[in-house]
Structure 1
């Protein structure tokens, strides 16, 4: 064996042949994870596909076109058969309900706007599934997420995807350094989604033209309130719609039907100036509305911080980074002041509108694609 052969590092970063590198691929049944599995198998890796059943597919919570639904399990299994690698379906329904759905319901009832996809990655896919991958003696676990992982001087780093329109870093900020050491993201370097679909066609996969899932998997047609009422009967108690100056403007059928920053569908027509939901008071069951300028926020309390910087989070009095407070918004300059290893006060240099408890505040390097982690926005109480 030549020296070149001995030290060659494969595409997943291991100094051994692909055939001796076992990789578990988390397969949702969509085109992205299917391409990852097919690509790695084609390259000669020892691939094992794993699909999670996350909820009862016959229940009213399930919807056509969401990830992890019955048809997706079938699609993932078919890809495995076509490409010739083993595939397992794991029943994670109870874990998913306890770790994701129940908190989603409680957060909504508390007036927050939760992001269950982040909790699913954090508490199910990158925790229990990752542990299962290790039990299968895998060298690593690969997913179809659009994000990049690079080996830096101090260890693996998380970076935004090459395609800014597909970047999923906001939903993966809570990935720990230990998890990052074991994870691989083979699609993060692709420039467009078209490249992924072209690969699917090249591999002869029937999912090549399958539509992307858009909504939260257990929320039919984006009807959050309907799901909450199903999970928490009687949760939609009526109350008052109140102006910030104290005037009662109308009635509502439940705080769960409203979100911070909402303008349409408030049920208080006939007013000359547009009003927005500026606060949800679950104790008094009041929806508080006001002018747009009341939505502007400069200081954000953040907790449950996952820090991905090289130096300890509390080693500096403040960090000058950029932050995202919604997945659809660009990063904005901010000063992050640590309170503890998991808490901070974030000061935005330019105020943001519609900052809501329950959303994530994700930290980015201002001058590179690197992600420095993030935390959860709360009320400060």
Structure 2
């Protein structure tokens, strides 16, 4: 027996196969599901993926099939504090947050690891597609999955302690193979759809969620151009994000893009084609994963969104501790609040939160 591992079971196929593979490889496996929020009764039950009541039941069925214990941990209060409150406050100041990154940092690899230690487990595991290994200098390193599905981007905020106690058994598997393994093992979630949305926003309507949460919609204001000329009226800042073109609700005679959200003036700043690109960006709240913070400028490949292609850039730590990233080619829709994650090939170096895009 290799040891005891607590596997985060979302009720989906990935975490189910992760538990199966660890069990087959000699680990004593215990399953757990995190209750992060309550289902909104205004919406029909979701098919697939994460955090709903049905997902808890699916995880329990998988654990029963594997003959392992299953726990449900109520982390709703912590999730509200660390994820939902941050989501709401970030939108209030014109930023576009990534709640999955905070959930991984504080819940799935934070609170769950502490609970694993209380249960006498040696490690935790999830169904994320990424690779953890220890480097020659003893530092734990994070790598992108070599196959189509890679989730290293949403794991960049993990600490050395968290990585040291994390197993990611799907690192070298393509998604079709994972479903095949589940099918062959007779797991009841083998064909369950993947989750595609933020778990607490079931209809993908972020502005609608914020309206329900706050009890009111955001205040309408003016669309303006870069010089402050009024172009029309907007519905409220929470309905827009940097780089957006569709859904502005007004015709301009040419494509117009959101370039900035001015919370002080309650204005949405628009610009024509080309204005949605930035040559550089500034980021803060940095976390260096696989390397120490670099003391000199470093050539990297940077992702400014989960689905973005890596772009060549020069990374420089500024005297105030922020990160200045200068791209070889201008990047579209650099949105404040989103994460920028830095790589050297497949090796994830670190990342941070975008403060602003810089045009020149």
**TM-score between the two structures when normalised by the length of structure 2:** 0.95
> Partner of 2:172: helix, strand, or coil?
coil
Candidates 328, 332, 340, aligned match of 1:353: 332
CA, structure 1 residues 253+207, in 2 after alignment: closer, same or farther (shift >3 Å)?
same
Unaligned runs of 5+ in 1: 1-16
The answer on 1:138 being equivalent to 2:135 is no
Q: Is the 8 A contact 1:305 1:341 kept in 2?
A: no
- 2:248 — aligned with what? 266
Alpha-carbon distance in structure 2 between the residues aligned to 1:56 and 1:62: 13
- 2:275 — aligned with what? 294
Q: Is the 8 A contact 2:285 2:352 kept in 1?
A: yes
CA, structure 1 residues 187+362, in 2 after alignment: closer, same or farther (shift >3 Å)?
same
CA, structure 1 residues 111+290, in 2 after alignment: closer, same or farther (shift >3 Å)?
same
- 2:350 — aligned with what? 373
Alpha-carbon distance in structure 1 between the residues aligned to 2:142 and 2:107: 19
Candidates 151, 156, 169, aligned match of 2:140: 156
CA, structure 1 residues 63+244, in 2 after alignment: closer, same or farther (shift >3 Å)?
farther
- 2:263 — aligned with what? 282
- 2:293 — aligned with what? 313
Unaligned runs of 5+ in 2: none
- 1:178 — aligned with what? 161
Matched pairs, number: 356
- 1:83 — aligned with what? 66
Alpha-carbon distance in structure 1 between the residues aligned to 2:50 and 2:272: 38
Alpha-carbon distance in structure 1 between the residues aligned to 2:303 and 2:321: 18
Alpha-carbon distance in structure 2 between the residues aligned to 1:61 and 1:307: 40
- 2:78 — aligned with what? 95
CA, structure 1 residues 346+272, in 2 after alignment: closer, same or farther (shift >3 Å)?
same
How far did 1:194 drift?
0.8
Q: Is the 8 A contact 2:334 2:356 kept in 1?
A: no
Q: Is the 8 A contact 1:109 1:235 kept in 2?
A: no
Alpha-carbon distance in structure 2 between the residues aligned to 1:43 and 1:172: 24
Candidates 188, 199, 214, aligned match of 2:181: 199
Q: Is the 8 A contact 1:62 1:218 kept in 2?
A: no
Question: What is the root-mean-square deviation in Å for CA atoms of aligned residues?
Answer: 1.8
Alpha-carbon distance in structure 1 between the residues aligned to 2:324 and 2:244: 25
- 1:329 — aligned with what? 308
- 2:13 — aligned with what? 31
Alpha-carbon distance in structure 2 between the residues aligned to 1:298 and 1:252: 27
Q: Is the 8 A contact 2:223 2:233 kept in 1?
A: yes
Candidates 100, 117, 120, aligned match of 1:117: 100
How far did 1:349 drift?
1.6
Q: Is the 8 A contact 1:41 1:85 kept in 2?
A: no
**TM-score between the two structures when normalised by the length of structure 1:** 0.90
Alpha-carbon distance in structure 2 between the residues aligned to 1:370 and 1:300: 21
Alpha-carbon distance in structure 1 between the residues aligned to 2:70 and 2:217: 40
CA, structure 1 residues 166+380, in 2 after alignment: closer, same or farther (shift >3 Å)?
closer
How far did 1:243 drift?
2.1
Structure of higher CA gyration radius: 1
Alpha-carbon distance in structure 2 between the residues aligned to 1:69 and 1:238: 34
Candidates 229, 234, 237, aligned match of 1:252: 234
Alpha-carbon distance in structure 1 between the residues aligned to 2:62 and 2:321: 41
How far did 1:380 drift?
8.5
Alpha-carbon distance in structure 1 between the residues aligned to 2:357 and 2:242: 16
Alpha-carbon distance in structure 1 between the residues aligned to 2:293 and 2:26: 40
**Residues 180-219 of structure 1 deviation map (CA, whole Å, 9 limit, x = unaligned):** 11001000101x2110001101211010000000000001
> Partner of 1:123: helix, strand, or coil?
helix
